[in-house]
Copies of this chain bind each other. A is one copy, B any other.
Amino acid sequence: METSILGRPRSEPARRAVLDAALRLVRRDGYQAVTIKGIAEEAGVGRQTIYRWWTSKAEVLLEAVIELARPIAQPEPTGDPLHDLRQILRGSFRLSPVAGPIISGLMADATNDPEFLAKLQSELLARRRALIRETLERAQRDGLVGAGTALDLVTDMVWGTMWYRVLSRHAPVDETLADQVTEAVLTLLGPVGK
């Protein structure tokens, strides 16, 4: 069942205005304080237009943050997986002041909404996770690191460290952390042939 071809097509300017307004409001007032009514007014859009295409503010912000993260979602691997890893982390960390609070709110909203949780996982979390995992696999294939610790666990530790700092905010999420984490990955995976 695809979208019908008949009738007036969906307005792309309205879609963009909604997503931009949502991002603006979440930066200004925080995730919790954002309302659909507020987004509609900020975007200069009828409220019905939002309800027609999204079912909740979480869906709006999920789409907004996915587009926000698009630039770093598909990096071309260079020859050096460890360099790639560092770059992915640095890119993510740079986005984290904006994306962090949003994804944090999305995760909280997802706790008692299995359908939205599945969508959040498949369209955002799993993709970012795969980014790290595939880079680590590449590093192993290239013989840059060994296989001391299970790759799944290392992947979780990499993203987890970032998330813990983003959420608890007891320490900055910056390039220094990106370098430290990269080094820790080396220690965890160990030397070749170990």
Q: Which residues of A contact B (CB under 8 A)?
A: 29-33, 101, 104-105, 107-109, 111-113, 117, 121, 125-126, 129, 148-150, 152-153, 156-157, 159-165, 167-171, 180-181, 183-184, 187-188, 190
Per the bound structure, the CA–CA distance linking A159 and B162 in Å amounts to 11
Starting from the known contacts A108-B108, A160-B161, 4 additional A-B residue pairs (CB-CB under 8 Å) come to A149-B187, A150-B180, A160-B164, A160-B165
The answer to whether A30 touches B112 (Cβ under 8 A) is yes
- What is the interface of chain A mostly: helix, strand, loop, or mixed? helix
The answer to whether B112 touches A169 (Cβ under 8 A) is no
| Copies of this chain, tallied across the complex | 2
Closest 4 pairs between A and B when the two form their complex, measured CB to CB: A30-B112, A160-B160, A160-B164, A160-B161
The answer to whether B161 touches A157 (Cβ under 8 A) is yes
- Can you give 15 contacting A-B residue pairs, CB < 8 Å? A31-B108, A31-B112, A105-B108, A105-B111, A107-B168, A129-B170, A149-B183, A150-B180, A152-B171, A159-B164, A160-B163, A161-B161, A163-B164, A164-B164, A184-B188
Per the bound structure, the CA–CA distance linking A180 and B30 in Å amounts to 36
The answer to whether A170 touches B112 (Cβ under 8 A) is no
A107-B109 contact in complex given A156-B171, A160-B164, C-beta closer than 8 Å:
no
Nearest B residue (CB) for A187: B188
Nearest B residue (CB) for A112: B30
A152 / chain B contacts, CB cutoff of 8 Å: 171
